[in-house]
Chains A and B, each alone.
Chain A
Amino acid sequence: MHRLELRIGPVSFRIGSAWQRPLDQLRRLYAGYPPAETPCDFTVRLEPARPWRRFVRPSLTITGDYWLPDTAPLPLSLGLLAAEMGMNLQMALGQRRYLLLHAAAVEREGRAVLMTGLSGAGKSTLAALLGERGWRFMGDEFALLGLDDGLLHAFPRAVSLKNEALPLFAGVVAERLGPLLEGTPKGTIRHLRPDREAIMRMDEPARPVLILFPRFGADLASAVRPVGAAEVFVRLTQASTNYVALAERGFAALTGLVTAVPGRAIDYANGGEAVALVETLWEETR
């Protein structure tokens, strides 16, 4: 088994793979990240879907400490994506120290904005964009809520960007982009490594001050609507994979969050409008 260890925020992963290539791609994508803190929190394994699939039209299954039965194998060409999915799976099924919110997060001056809602590159792209516009990127898939401190802890993994969103990032250094991956469940994607600030400051938590429910639509007019705390609570529990496992501490942390932090739904037709809305609303929370 080839092996790579990686730390993203407070979580260290040991990733094993039957093939070297996906790990080489992963190592390049996560260049500059701090070394893993052993023992690693989770183990991910990329294994041949069947023994002969190590060589013949190679395809892999994603497994590890935590796994789901009956997952479809992926071709080796998408090994990098498989590794990312494997790490997500460990977090989703095994994280017990922080309340996992399925949300993107960015911060400025120690005050963080959470962006949550349905899966789709909407919040990922927005968070990545804000990261390029002076905000510190804290994560696009999982936001980690501290159970005792009520703060958001960063999990700045590489952002998976859909092909259509790539032109928005034309200015980034090429070295921060992963390989072009075609034929993924979300079409053609590329990963973007968060910038130096996001990596350097990944161990600094931030106080959540705003919860946004972004909605992107080419024909939508820019709009803001309040979202009631009860609705925010319900939507966040539905989007959290480990809320139940955290029992009463999870309840306390989440009720604490929604009663202290306002929720807003925002509609926008393009990245520029989105950034403007986020900045305005964030200012209002002072």
Chain B
Amino acid sequence: MSAAAVARLLADPGSAAEVKDWTSILAAARAESLAGSLAFRLKGMTLPEKVELLLEDARTGAEAGRTQALWEAEMARRALAPLGVPVILLKGTAYAAAGLEAATGRSIGDLDILVPREALPDVERALLADGWEWVKEDPYDDLYYRQWMHELPPLIHSTRDRMIDVHHTILPLTARPKPDAEALLLASIPLGDGLQILHPADMVVHAAAHLFADGDLAGGLRNLWDIDRLLREFSSRGYEFTVELRERAWEHQLEPAVARALRLARALYGTPVDHALAGRRQATDSLFLRRLVARDGWGRPTRRGLRFAFYLRSHWLRMPPLMLARHLWRKARR
């Protein structure tokens, strides 16, 4: 199980000396978007020359990606500064902008930002005026995004060809936990250039929410690595991070997600977690773990049945049953 081997290497870089099949490790790592993270984790280890060359390639790619992601945030800042509304960076771009460990080697995709719901029309106007355009053209999708999802329909910049996702809360309006968007905004931390990031405890809560309630666990191995890195860094800052994390998880009605994230991070990466917060191990934890490492040494997804079950579950969590049926019907007819 090569994805599991990648997780082991991330948790314990010293075990690199025992690796026999680096080709498979790299294929699985690339498929899980963890090649850059792995390459930085293994920096400084004594490795065969060819392995070192390939890891250096991964680091090169990750650095270029980081520059582009931060630049995209800067261009969004320039477009939105005149509005005077808070703009909170989320996920990978936030980790990079804040210089967090979680950003080291991380592959960063689209730019995700959080703004107050009332500001959405102005934000939309400002972005469209500065060269962004809509990606999707289907009016049904448009309505779905605006009415039910927690974001504007996706926008892409016409010359830079990079996507931006504008959120007003961290979970879809139709999802069953109801996070407190205002609390997120109030607690956010300024970066000094006009952009903000979430409070550390909110960052972890968001990562957990995104991992479970918002997706079908695709990319889960990477998201859990983020959580491992965030937890270790924030816990080492000397204040009562665990207390804050518990409070925020409760406030946003996401305690089960946070608890499960802690248990899975501990199981996969040996993350030190608070036992009370992590709660008792559940029988379904093994299903989650199996889904997370369902990737072979060719980079292929394995356990198709399990993956499909999680895919269905992710939609179930996002939408009331009647809506789900209608949505899947619409998608199938395309």
Binding site for B on A (CB under 8 A): 1, 14, 16, 37-41, 43, 45, 47, 64-66, 94, 96-97, 244-247
Contacts and interface: CB of A to CB of B under 8 A. Distances in A.
A96 B57 contact: yes
Contacts of A247: 60, 63-64, 67
Contacts of A40: 23
A245 B54 contact: no
B190 interface: no
27 contacts: A1-B298, A14-B27, A16-B298, A37-B50, A38-B23, A38-B50, A39-B21, A39-B22, A39-B23, A39-B25, A39-B50, A43-B26, A43-B298, A43-B299, A45-B298, A47-B300, A65-B26, A94-B57, A96-B58, A96-B60, A97-B60, A244-B64, A245-B61, A245-B65, A246-B60, A246-B64, A247-B63
Contacts of A97: 53, 56-57, 60
Given A38-B50, A45-B299, A65 B57 contact: no
Interface string B23-34: 101110011000
A179 to B, nearest CB: 26
Contacts of A94: 57
A41 B51 CA distance: 9
Interface string B51-79: 10110111011011101100000000000
B299 A65 contact: yes
Given A244-B64, A245-B64, A246-B64, A64 B299 contact: yes
Contacts of B58: 96
B298 A39 contact: no
List the 9 shortest-distance A-B pairs measured between CB atoms, nearest first. A39-B22, A96-B57, A39-B23, A65-B30, A43-B27, A245-B64, A40-B23, A96-B60, A247-B64
A92 to B, nearest CB: 13
Given A38-B22, A245-B61, 15 more contacts: A16-B298, A38-B50, A39-B50, A40-B23, A43-B23, A43-B298, A45-B299, A65-B299, A66-B30, A96-B60, A96-B61, A97-B57, A244-B68, A247-B64, A247-B67
Nearest to A40: B23
A66 to B, nearest CB: 8
Interface string B251-270: 00000000000000000000
Given A245-B60, A246-B60, A41 B54 contact: yes
A94 B58 CA distance: 9
Interface of B: 21-23, 25-27, 30-31, 50-51, 53-54, 56-58, 60-61, 63-65, 67-68, 298-300
Contacts of A14: 23, 27
A40 B51 CA distance: 9
Nearest to B23: A39
Given A64-B299, A65-B26, A65-B31, A39 B64 contact: no
B118 to A, nearest CB: 36
Contacts of B56: 97
Contacts of B300: 45, 47
Nearest to B67: A247
Contacts of B68: 244
A37 to B, nearest CB: 6
Contacts of A16: 298
Contacts of B50: 37-39
Among the interface residues B22, B60, B300, which one has the most CB atoms of the partner chain A within 10 A? B60
B27 A65 contact: yes
A252 to B, nearest CB: 14
A65 B22 CA distance: 14
Contacts of B25: 39
Contacts of B298: 1, 16, 43, 45
Nearest to A250: B64
Nearest to B48: A39
B38 to A, nearest CB: 13
A95 to B, nearest CB: 8
A74 to B, nearest CB: 19
Contacts of A39: 21-23, 25-26, 50-51, 54
Contacts of A41: 54
A63 B114 CA distance: 35
A247 B23 CA distance: 26
Contacts of A245: 60-61, 64-65
Contacts of B57: 94, 96-97
B21 to A, nearest CB: 8
A114 to B, nearest CB: 23
Nearest to A96: B57
A37 B63 CA distance: 26
A65 B35 CA distance: 11
A207 B162 CA distance: 37
A236 B60 CA distance: 21
A179 B235 CA distance: 62
Nearest to A247: B64
A43 B21 CA distance: 13
Contacts of B67: 247
A264 to B, nearest CB: 31
